Chain A
Amino acid sequence: GNSVTQMEGPVTLSEEAFLTINCTYTATGYPSLFWYVQYPGEGLQLLLKATKADDKGSNKGFEATYRKETTSFHLEKGSVQVSDSAVYFCALSSTSGTYKYIFGTGTRLKVLA
């Protein structure tokens, strides 16, 4: 079945450091891929998405490229800020004939001033 695997956290970085959070997926066909962010005490909100191979989603300085050949959708940001501290979830919309959205386990990011 469809699944999402993302790197375990927590990830601790200094302000202005480069961020990469790895995400790989298993799916047949061409799922849509998403990154969601959850700030402390809040619900999930969409950070970015990509709907087909080689698409690059971007928002608030974050980027992720849909790589069909490596089944990956890694999240990157060139210079993190303290305000980026949150939990990040990789997700896909299932292509197996169901209407399910599958989430990874989440990666907690802590950015230190």
Chain B
Amino acid sequence: NAGVTQTPKFQVLKTGQSMTLQCAQDMNHNSMYWYRQDPGMGLRLIYYSASEGTTDKGEVPNGYNVSRLNKREFSLRLESAAPSQTSVYFCATPGRSYGEKLFFGSGTQLSVL
């Protein structure tokens, strides 16, 4: 029982390159989230998906796109990476119901040069 699985764990990009961060959960919950963590800024919500087929912007959506492929998978895409997107990215989902604790993936450390 893996919980929340994120790939890759590390990535280095050049400015202007694109990439997709993958997230899969086996907790069978409808909601999934993408956060970024920056020093002194805490966790900021990029996008979330309340259910399969729906996505909504969070606090810092610019420069990102998402796809809720099915109930299990929620991907985050950087179309043209910028140095400001250097961060640690976390995917998360509630364990049982909304309002319960979030389970997090292990994170993706992304550097954009």
Binding site for B on A (CB under 8 A): 31-32, 34, 43-46, 49, 51, 89, 91, 93, 98-106
* B40 & A32 in contact (Cβ 8 Å cutoff): no
* Among all A-B residue pairs, the 4 with the closest Cβ atoms: A105-B42, A103-B43, A99-B50, A46-B101
A109 to B58, CA, bound (A): 28
Most chain B beta-carbon neighbours within 10 Å: one of A44, A49, A105: A44
B99 interface residue, CB < 8 Å from A? Answer: yes
Given A44-B90, A44-B104, A93-B98: A98 touches B42 (CB 8 Å cut-off): no
Q: Is the CB of B42 within 8 A of A100?
A: no
Q: How large is the interface on B (under 10, 10 to 19, 20 to 34, 35 or more residues)?
A: 20 to 34
B56 interfacial by beta-carbon distance below 8 Å? yes
Contact check, A106 vs B101: say whether CB atoms are below 8 A apart.
no
CB contacts (< 8 Å) of A105 on chain B: these are 40-42
| B31 interfacial by beta-carbon distance below 8 Å | yes
Q: How far is the CB of B102 from chain A (nearest CB, A)?
A: 6
Given contacts A43-B105, A43-B106, A101-B33, 9 further A-B contacts (CB under 8 A): A32-B100, A51-B99, A93-B99, A98-B48, A98-B56, A99-B98, A103-B35, A103-B43, A105-B41
The residues of B that contact A34 with a CB separation of less than 8 Å are: 101
Contact residues in B for A93 (Cβ distance below 8 Å): 98-99
B100 and chain A: residue at smallest CB distance: A32
